C-alpha cells in the first residue's frame, strides 16, 4: 500500500528544474541560446554543471547572454562553464564552419539541442536560396546534426533534442512540389511545414539510431506551448492587439516554456522518439509531460521522403 501511494505521488508530481540530474562532465550544444527558450535551457543545464556551448548567430548578443548566465549563478559563478560558438542556421557555410569548430574542440558531445528558429517571417530566402523558415528551422538543424552526430554516437546517454511547435498542426504539410514557396507564400503554412519537418526528422532519426547497434544516442522532440519569446516579433499587425489582450492568459514565460526541452534533454526516464510539451489546457502552458504529435508526423513514408530530400538539399549524409 505504502509503495503504491509513493509511486502515485511521484507520477503526479510536476516535473521542474529541480528534477534535472547532475550534469557535471557533460557537454551540451544549444542553438539559439542567446535569448528566450534557448537561453533558459542553456542556463538551467549550466547551473547543473554541464559545459554549455551557446551556438548563436550574433556573438554580441551571445556574449551578453553568457554574462547574464554567469551573473545569475551568483556565488557559484566560478563553477559555471559556458562558451560561445558562432552559428547562422540560415547559411550552410556557417553550419559547416561551426560543426568543424565544435568537432575540433569536443571529441564528445552529450546533448545537441536544436532550439533556434524563426516564425511567421515575411517572404525571405536563406543564403543558399531556401525559404527562410524551412531553411533555418529544419535544413540548418538537419545539417548541423548530421555533421556532429559521430561525436554523440559513442556517448552513453547522449541525445538530440529538437524543438517543434504546436504550429506543426496548423495548416501544416510538406509541399514537396514547392518546398521553397516560390509559387505563392503563406507565412503561417510555411512555419507549419518547418515545424512538422522537425518532428518528421526526429522520428526518422530515431528509427535509424534504434537500428544501429553501436549507437548510444536517442532522438527526442519537445514544444514550449504558448511562450512569450522574440519569435512573436513577426506576428501580423491584425493579430497584435489580440496578442496583447490574451497573451497573459495564453502565453507562459520563456523560463516555463523551456521546461519540455529540459525534460527531453535530462530526464533519465525519457525514451527515443518521445515528444514533450506542457500539461495545461491545449498544451498551451504548464509543466512538461509526454504528449502526442499529429498523425502526419508519424507517417513513415513521409519521414523517409523528407530525409532523402534534406540530404540532397544540404549535401549532408548521416553516419547511421
Interval 112-148: pLDDT, tens: 999 999 999 999 999 999 999 999 999 999 999 999 9
Q: State yes or no: pLDDT of 185 exceeds 50.
A: yes
How far apart CA 69 and CA 64 sit, in angstroms, is 9
Average pLDDT, the chain: 92
Mean pLDDT along residues 235-241: 50
How far apart CA 76 and CA 3 sit, in angstroms, is 37
Q: pLDDT, tens digit, for every residue of 71-113? A: 999 888 888 999 999 999 999 999 999 999 999 999 999 999 9
Mean pLDDT along residues 35-44: 98
Q: State yes or no: pLDDT of 235 exceeds 80.
A: no
How far apart CA 201 and CA 218 sit, in angstroms, is 13
Percent of the chain with pLDDT over 70: 89
The string of DSSP codes covering 169-222 is GSS----TT-TT-TT---HHHHHHHHHHHHHHHHHHHHHHHHH-TT---EEEEE
- pLDDT at res. 76: 86
- Annotated catalytic residue: which of 39, 191, 203, 275? 191
Q: pLDDT, tens digit, for every residue of 40-50? A: 999 999 999 99
Residue 284, C-alpha cell as written in the block: 498551451
- pLDDT at res. 236: 55
- pLDDT at res. 4: 47
- pLDDT at res. 248: 52
- Our answer to whether residue 185 is catalytic in this structure is no
- pLDDT at res. 229: 57
- Whether the CB-CB separation of 14 and 75 falls below 8 Å is answered with no
- pLDDT at res. 47: 97
Q: Give all domains of the chain, ordered by start, each with its CATH number.
A: 20-314 (3.40.50.720)
Residue 72, C-alpha cell as written in the block: 545569475
Radius of gyration of the chain (CA): 19
Would the pTM of this model clear 0.75, i.e. be above it? Answer: yes
Q: pLDDT, tens digit, for every residue of 249-268? A: 568 999 999 999 999 999 99
Q: State yes or no: pLDDT of 301 exceeds 60.
A: yes
- pLDDT at res. 10: 45
- pLDDT at res. 78: 86
- pLDDT at res. 75: 86
- pLDDT at res. 37: 97
Q: pLDDT, tens digit, for every residue of 191-233? A: 999 999 999 999 999 999 999 999 999 999 999 998 765 545 5
Amino acid at each position: 500500500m505504502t509503495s503504491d501511494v509513493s509511486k502515485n505521488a511521484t507520477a503526479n508530481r510536476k516535473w521542474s528544474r529541480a528534477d534535472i540530474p547532475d550534469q557535471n562532465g557533460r557537454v551540451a550544444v544549444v542553438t539559439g541560446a542567446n535569448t528566450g527558450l534557448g537561453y533558459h535551457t542553456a542556463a538551467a543545464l549550466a547551473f547543473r554543471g554541464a559545459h554549455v556551448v551557446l551556438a548563436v548567430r550574433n556573438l554580441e548578443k551571445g556574449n551578453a547572454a553568457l554574462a547574464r548566465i554567469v551573473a545569475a549563478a551568483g556565488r557559484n559563478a566560478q563553477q559555471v562553464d559556458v562558451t560561445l560558438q558562432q552559428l547562422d542556421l540560415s547559411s550552410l557555410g556557417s553550419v559547416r564552419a561551426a560543426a568543424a569548430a565544435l568537432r575540433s574542440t569536443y571529441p564528445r558531445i552529450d546533448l545537441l539541442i536544436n532550439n533556434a528558429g524563426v516564425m511567421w517571417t515575411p517572404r525571405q530566402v536563406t543564403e543558399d536560396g531556401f525559404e527562410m523558415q524551412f531553411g533555418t528551422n529544419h535544413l540548418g538543424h538537419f545539417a548541423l546534426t548530421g555533421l556532429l552526430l559521430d561525436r554523440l554516437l559513442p556517448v552513453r546517454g547522449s541525445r538530440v533534442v529538437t524543438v517543434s511547435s504546436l504550429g506543426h498542426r496548423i495548416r501544416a504539410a510538406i509541399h514537396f512540389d514547392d518546398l521553397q514557396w516560390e509559387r505563392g507564400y503563406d507565412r503561417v503554412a510555411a512555419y507549419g511545414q518547418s515545424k512538422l519537418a522537425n518532428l518528421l526528422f526526429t522520428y526518422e532519426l530515431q528509427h535509424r539510431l534504434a537500428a544501429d547497434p553501436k549507437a548510444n544516442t536517442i532522438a527526442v522532440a519537445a514544444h514550449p506551448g504558448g511562450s512569450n519569446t522574440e519569435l512573436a516579433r513577426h506576428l501580423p499587425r491584425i493579430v497584435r492587439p489580440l496578442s496583447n489582450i490574451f497573451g497573459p492568459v495564453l502565453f507562459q514565460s520563456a523560463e516555463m516554456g523551456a521546461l519540455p526541452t529540459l525534460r527531453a534533454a535530462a530526464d533519465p526516464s525519457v525514451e527515443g522518439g518521445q515528444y514533450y510539451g506542457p500539461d495545461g489546457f491545449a498544451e498551451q502552458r504548464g509543466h512538461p509531460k509526454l504528449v502526442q504529435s499529429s498523425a502526419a508526423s508519424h507517417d513513415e513514408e513521409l519521414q523517409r521522403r523528407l530525409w532523402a530530400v534534406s540530404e540532397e538539399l544540404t549535401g549532408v549524409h548521416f553516419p547511421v
